[in-house]
Amino acid sequence: MPWDVASVAAELLRCEDEGVDRPPFTDEWPELDLETGYRIQDLNLEARLARGETLVGVKLGLTSRAKQERMGVHVPLVAWLTDAMLLAAGDPVPQSRLIHPRIEPEIVFVLEDRLAGPGVSCASAMAAVGSVWGGAEVIDSRYRDFRFQAGDVVADNASSGAFVTGPVGLPPTALNLALEAALVEVDGQVVDSATGAAVQGHPGEALALAANELAKRGHALEPGWIVLTGGMTDAVPAPPGASIAIHFSNLGSIFINGG
């Protein structure tokens, strides 16, 4: 089948809605590059909004070396967050609507001011932040075994699934984000750890990157938006029955069970 922007967008939403995975489109359509992937992503944002979801922010993907190396894609990505992806504290992994969820620790910002690129630096990005939170992203991929190229994963909204923020929100001046640590525990065993420096040297760099990248597509980050700055460590599988905890040094702990 000759794929195009509209047919890939529709197929990705069908896979998401029906909970089925598929091979990456680049196997058949190698011209699916980043720019085309973003057009597909934006088309599916329109579809999500048309079906009643509300835009609540953006997520970055592949901002840490751990994530880039695991996924074999070496470029940071930006994607959309809607209210349908929000989990409340204590919610289990929403297995019934996900294919093969994995969980990763993230530094999360809530914006106080509008942030529009180009030319946004880490310092000017951080000046727009109202509060900083610990977060856990439950990623999912519509691609079998999470196998994809950059264009595929951008089209797939950077493997969006669900996310939850932790119990502690602090003003950005209250902590050194490069040193903020996260420990990832699975069934009571620490399996991974990182500090905020894993994310582009400082999570504010990821925020600046989002503003500058979105500016190329004619968008800005808006006040009140949530920004997930990208997995600090590799993601851990979150099957039914798993018990996952993420402990931040200053931003509290998040507990998620696999349902």
Binding positions for ligand 0L1, rule: CB under 6 A: 61-62, 67, 71, 104, 137, 139, 141, 146, 153, 158-159, 230-231
**DSSP label at 116?**
-
CB of 137 to Mg ion, least distance (A): 4
Q: Can you tell me the distance from the alpha carbon of 90 to that of 84, in angstroms, rounded to the nearest whole number?
A: 16
Among residues 82 and 141, whose Cβ is nearest to ligand 0L1?
Answer: 141
169: CB partners within 8 A, 6+ apart = 110, 131, 132, 133
- For residue 31 the two structure tokens come to 């011209």
Q: How far is the C-alpha of 63 from the C-alpha of 73, rounded, in Å?
A: 10
| CB nearer to ligand 0L1: pick between 166 and 231 | 231
Q: Which does 152 bind (CB under 5 to 8 A by kind): ligand 0L1, Mg ion, none?
A: none
Is the bond into 118 cis (omega within 30 degrees of 0)? yes
Sequential DSSP letters for 175-203: S-TTT-EEEEEETTEEEEEEEGGGBTTSH
Minimal distance, residue 2 CB to ligand 0L1, in Å: 26
Indicate which single residue of 16, 137, 152, 185 sits in contact with Mg ion (rule: CB under 5 A). Answer: 137
Site string for Mg ion, 20-49 (x = CB under 5 A): ------------------------------
The CB-of-63 to Mg ion minimum distance in angstroms stands at 8
